[in-house]
Chains A and B, each alone.
Chain A
Amino acid sequence: MEVAEAVVIAIVIALIIAFVLTSGLRAELKSVQTATQANIYIKEGSFKLSNEQDIYVCKKVDRTAKPKPQQQQVQR
């Protein structure tokens, strides 16, 4: 029983590892991508904040009952 369980667990984990590693190898072949950011073109020292407010609006408390331990049945 333990062998069958270990085989199933090992197959699932090995498939995930093999997929991740080969995806990494595939990604090595792609070096062309669209630029969507311009962070490297921000003029040094130009970023200035004129207003910085963190306004507390409200709070909400959710309460969930803990599951009660089942009472042990006493055999007479």
Chain B
Amino acid sequence: MALQEYRCPCCGGSIEFNSSIGKMKCPFCDTEFEMDALKELDEALNKEEPESMKWEGYEGQSWSGEDMNGMSAYHCKSCGAEIVTAETTAASACPFCGNPIVMMQNFAGNLKPDFIIPFKLDKNAAKEALSKHFQGKKLLPSAFSSENHIDEVNGVYVPFWLFNSGADADMRYKATKVRRWSDNDYEYKETKYYTIVRSGSLSFENIPVDGSKKMDDDLMDSLEPFNFDEQKEFITAYLSGYLADKYDVSADESVERANLRIKNSTAQTFLSTVKGYDTVQTENANIRLRDGSYKYVLLPMWILNTNWNGQKFIFGMNGQTGKFVGNLPMDKGKFWKYFFLYFLISFAVCFGIAYLILTMD
């Protein structure tokens, strides 16, 4: 059995039993500890379990011959994208890089999606959202919004992995309460040290992680959330008029991103229950996943590509909710113009106030 080493919360030194006072005492800063408190702490520490973030396997569904008959597959020689669509939909340019795409002889399917969220908003809504996206941006180069023509607007079903999981957690925090007072000769600062223990569980549902290497992960994250109550069982007919990317990032490769988000949110949720202290510091976090499962879905996105000054800009709109995102370029000239304008106004006001205060003294 491993010996438990106790560290002094005040100075970090190892504490030991002092037989003359019958208490644990820190030999470095002379802080004394109640045995009952340490016993309670010992029991809490022994309950902690090792961290585990494992997911169960997934078999998925295969494409049937019937599904594949009504579909066409295209290949982009420039970025390597493999795009599928309904046989009735013609595709000529890659939605990710804008280069020409060629039809493939045979459609070699990965897994068939479990679910799909159909498009609710059309191409015109995406164009309108782009115009609104430009509005009110003072540092946007005028030429970008006036001369800008969008090279491609494509409705794309992007492959996502949706992760569901329960999480059990044992959290331990070091917290302090500080009290200050003074008398005629001294100022006093009393710091009370606490060990806070929280254990419990929570569940996560439908955490999306995109399964496409071509799609920028941050752009996809920014287009969340989706309303998964509206998801439908996948049928090929939904692809009519739209393109669909096939996943090229497996669930196993995507799981790290889901784990990180689960871990951060679990830690934040438990931390929010520690109240009434002046400082709180996490000492130990054991988060274990249980009943982890995932499914493969296609989510609707409008992707708008444009080039400006030799730089490529990609905008995205959530095809279900209309949320629109995309980074815009900055006009450096406008930046300095506003900087000096704000500086001059602030200087005039501040100088007036400072002069009045100084001359009043």
Contacts and interface: CB of A to CB of B under 8 A. Distances in A.
A37 B268 contact: yes
A50 to B, nearest CB: 5
Interface residues of A, number: 55
B351 A10 contact: yes
Contacts of A74: none
B193 A54 contact: no
A39 interface: yes
A38 B206 CA distance: 10
B261 A38 contact: yes
Interface residues of B, number: 87
Interface in A43-68: 43, 46-66
A36 interface: yes
B189 A57 contact: no
A5 B261 CA distance: 51
B291 to A, nearest CB: 12
Given A18-B346, A32-B326, A55-B194, A25 B138 contact: yes
B169 to A, nearest CB: 10
Given A29-B330, A57-B193, A63-B188, A50 B358 contact: no
Contact of B139 (A11, A26, A53, A57): A26
Contacts of B193: 56-60
Contacts of A48: 200-202
A6 B358 CA distance: 7
Given A28-B136, A46-B201, A54 B196 contact: yes
A35 B196 contact: no
Interface of A: 2-3, 5-7, 9-11, 13-15, 17-19, 21-22, 25-26, 28-43, 46-66
28 contacts: A2-B359, A5-B354, A6-B355, A11-B347, A17-B343, A18-B346, A19-B339, A25-B139, A31-B325, A32-B327, A34-B217, A35-B261, A43-B204, A46-B201, A49-B198, A50-B199, A55-B40, A55-B41, A55-B196, A57-B33, A59-B190, A59-B191, A59-B192, A59-B193, A61-B189, A61-B190, A62-B190, A64-B189
> Which 9 pairs show the lowest CB-CB distances between chains A and B?
A14-B346, A35-B221, A51-B199, A10-B351, A38-B261, A10-B350, A46-B203, A14-B347, A6-B354
